[in-house]
Amino acid sequence: MTMRVHHTEAPNAQRNDWRTVRSLLPYLWAYRGRAAMAIGFLILSKLANVGVPVALKGIVDALDTPEGRQIALPIALLVAYGLLRLGSSSFNELRDMVFARVRHGVMRRLSLMVLGHLHRLGLRYHLERKTGAISRDLERGTKAASSMMNYMLFSILPTFIEVTLIAGILLINYSVWFAVITFVTVLLYVGFTFKVTEWRMRFRHQMNALDSQANSQAVDGLLNFETVKYFNNEDFEHRRYSQTLGDWEEAAVKTQTSMSGLNVGQGMIIAIGVTAIMTMAAQGVMAGTMSLGDLVMVNAFMLQMFIPLNFLGVVYSQLKHALADMDQMFRLLGEKPEIRDTPDARPLEVADGSVRFEHVDFSYSSDRTILHDVDFEIPPGKKVAVVGHSGAGKSTLSRLLFRFYDATGGRVLVNGQDVREVTQASLRDAIGIVPQDTVLFNDTIYYNIAYGDPNASEEAIIRAARLAQIHDFIESLPEGYDTLVGERGLKLSGGEKQRVAIARTMVKDPKILVFDEATSSLDSASEQAILAALHRVAAERTTLVIAHRLSTVVDADQILVMDQGRIIERGSHRQLLERNGQYAHMWTLQLKQQEAKREQETDPAAAATIVGSGRY
């Protein structure tokens, strides 16, 4: 099988890391007190840590003289040495305890912020997004924020403080060359690390992009499991996933090998610097300008400074990785919602719930107009039906009414108020919809019905289920209302899912109702029962019905016939039949289809004759 496979390119590496860090600061600011306390404990820990070699020097110098060995052990220095060791570890633990709330709190706030932002983005964005890639970017981004804070507070800042303290002690007490070599070594180390890491980050970007693409492919394949089976494309899905994972493997190997090369170079710089300093210290002892305790102290300083500095190379690389991961998340947060409330938007006053489409034009893109001068009104408590062939623009009407998109021309009014001038929340709270393609949450039937109004009582849930003609079916299940419906409701049939959707809308009890092919998945008997229930529910509500089966809209107060985005006919069922236009032709065709279906049930040969003669 040959099929064009799209490969995701690596994100643009030319991003601003400082901008990414600044984007994190507002979340840290909420915990500024704890962060300041953690930094205080960090400084105390480093002061204690640097004090350990100083105490060790005193102990060695005291024991290095005959008088010192004969008099007594330097008890005070030994106690100080132990207390400094204890203080260093204790202050580190206190820092961790205080900062734990900051780290996990920021992760929680970021996760909530990103999910809320995703819900605020427009329908156009969500129709184009890849769920698997977004979920992976969100997961990596929040973990990266936590990692970056850990690296900054537990690795980079402590090392910087320790290097500064050690260099200051060396500068004050010994030759200036000790401090010079220390600083030069650190600068060479940092410069080399920065340069090589910047070069190798392109491999990490590529690896992340391929990781997201592979995850997206796997999720898409599993969500569309039945489609994969229908077309016998298991091997194709496997090959596609394998190709992406192969590219990811190459990028991952380059990431790891370049990391090893970086570590070798860092080790060489540290080895040269430590050797030079220890050589100078040994010469000082030989010359009598430095004591044995000074040599021990300088050696301890070098161990304390360069061991974490050696690890700092890995930390810096991981910090760059975290910044890359965070950048994707903050880019997502930077997406602007297509539909936003105006600054002076006010809550919708529903009142009688009249709806008016006033000379509405609409296009999803500039090169294709979907609606042309659509003008109609649904009076309070009345039912208006919209019929027409697929692609005529029927479902677009409901999306404009919910304000998933804004009309490119004309206005959509609810109770005389332009939907663009009221808050989206109040508008959508006033409208209920039973969609054609019902998607349920992977939870219980009870949860999915109650989703229409999470505060509804159990009695209200059961009453809605009875109205939707699904209560008896639910009671027949072993788990009843606690039955899990599966991913996207796949454990239920199409008709059962639509009844759950109808019950969910009835629980919401909106003033305005939209039925978008609400009975398309029901058999004739069930359809009649549901239609009777819908008729009772819609009796006192403003109702827009989008239908394919004309038999479901014969009781509408007005029927609009759409073709290529225009209303070409309007009137009652009887008026449209008398006009003998497009509606009458559709009605006749559907009657013939029903006749063929009935004859097929009784005489398949006769039905084939009807179809072959063009009557069907």
Smallest Cα–Cα separation from 518: which of 596, 597, 437, 593?
437
Q: What is the pLDDT of residues 193-241, one digit of tens each?
A: 878 877 877 787 788 888 888 888 888 888 888 788 877 888 888 888 8
Mean pLDDT of the chain: 81
Domain boundaries, the chain: 20-334, 347-430+515-579, 436-509
Residue 120's pLDDT is 79
Residues 6+ apart with CB under 8 A from 443: 484, 485
Q: Which residue has the higher pLDDT, 535 or 188?
A: 188
Higher pLDDT, 436 or 89: 89
Q: What is the pLDDT of residue 547?
A: 85
pLDDT at 525: 66
For range 362-375, the mean pLDDT:
86
In DSSP terms, 320 is beta-bridged to none
CATH superfamily of 436-509: P-loop containing nucleotide triphosphate hydrolases (3.40.50.300)
What does the pLDDT read at residue 611? 44
Q: Domain 20-334 is in which class?
A: mainly alpha
- Distance (Å, whole) CA 41 – CA 90: 9
Indicate the pLDDT class of residue 7, thresholds 50, 70 and 90. Answer: very low
pLDDT above 90 covers a percentage of the chain that reads 14
Residue 612, pLDDT > 60, answer no
Alpha helices by DSSP H, listed for 367-485, are 394-401, 424-429, 445-450, 458-467, 471-476
Give the pLDDT score at 420.
Answer: 93
Locus of tokens 């290095």: 64
Q: How far apart are CA 397 and CA 466, in angstroms?
A: 30
Using one digit for the tens of pLDDT, what is the confidence trace for 428-452?
Answer: 889 988 887 778 888 899 999 998 8
Within this chain, domains 347-430+515-579 and 436-509 share the same CATH topology: yes
The span from the CA of 359 to the CA of 193, in Å, is 64
The CATH fold assigned to 347-430+515-579 is Rossmann fold (3.40.50)
Kindly report the pTM of this predicted structure.
0.64
